């Protein structure tokens, strides 16, 4: 009985503090991967991933991933957000989506200026400027589509529809991250770092907005 009570209390604690647990886990992993990057402890893994991806390259996949990476740029998502703002009558949700996008972009640019990691060289299929860590596309896609997934989770009543949309958004996020590595403009660690920083930011963002009376 005591063991069951302890287990139930633990489960209840995790359920009540889920966001906080995820936040600190992501923060710990982000710090860990950042230290590994700047102590050259992850270089071998990054290079190994690029070697495998070079062998996967073909014209069809390259053209597809260039389209995906362009559609998922901050500028493209700004256009989408402005359209949502114009179309949706109740303005709070599209305003929060726009604010989320702008905030994630500013945080990413700031992080890049702090870490100043050079991009991969000699393997890029497209031209990109700026620093490499953390990946802007990875961070912004996780923040943008992750926030939309959260809104769907909170507001969609149909479980099947909700699940399908969230899975689609998750696949989209992962595909965007993969596209940045495949196109040779980011390392694997850049993308993982971008995802982790985005999770940290997004949980803080969600905790500090009021979604009532949308």
Query: What is the per-residue pLDDT across 66-87, written as a single tens digit (0 to 9) for each?
Result: 999 988 887 888 888 888 777 7
Whether the Cβ atoms of residue 54 and residue 123 lie closer than 8 Å to each other: yes
- CB count in 10 Å sphere of residue 174: 15
d(CA 133, CA 115): 7
The pTM score is 0.88
pLDDT for res 17: 76
Residue entry with tokens 């507001």: 155
Cα distance between residue 61 and residue 182, in whole Å: 9
Confidence at residue 213, expressed as pLDDT on a 0 to 100 scale: 45
């Amino acid at each position: 009985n005591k063991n069951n009570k302890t287990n139930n209390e633990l489960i209840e604690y995790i359920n009540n503090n889920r966001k906080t647990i995820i936040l600190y886990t992501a923060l710990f992993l982000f710090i860990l991967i950042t230290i590994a990057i700047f102590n050259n402890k992850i270089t071998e893994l990054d290079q190994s991933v690029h070697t495998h991806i070079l062998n996967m390259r073909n014209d069809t996949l390259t053209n597809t991933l260039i389209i995906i990476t362009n559609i998922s740029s901050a500028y493209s998502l700004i256009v989408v957000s402005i359209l949502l703002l114009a179309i949706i009558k109740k303005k709070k949700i599209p305003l929060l989506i726009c604010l989320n996008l702008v905030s994630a972009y500013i945080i990413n640019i700031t992080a890049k200026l702090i870490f100043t990691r050079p991009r991969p060289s000699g393997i890029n299929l497209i031209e990109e400027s700026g620093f490499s860590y953390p990946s802007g596309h990875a961070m912004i896609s996780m923040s943008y589509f992750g926030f939309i997934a959260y809104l769907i989770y909170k507001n969609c009543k149909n479980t099947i529809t909700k699940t399908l949309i969230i899975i689609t958004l998750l696949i989209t996020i992962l595909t965007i991250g993969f596209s940045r590595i495949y196109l040779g403009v980011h390392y694997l660690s850049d993308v993982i770092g971008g995802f982790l920083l985005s999770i940290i930011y997004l949980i803080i963002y969600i905790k500090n907005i009021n979604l009532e009376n949308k």
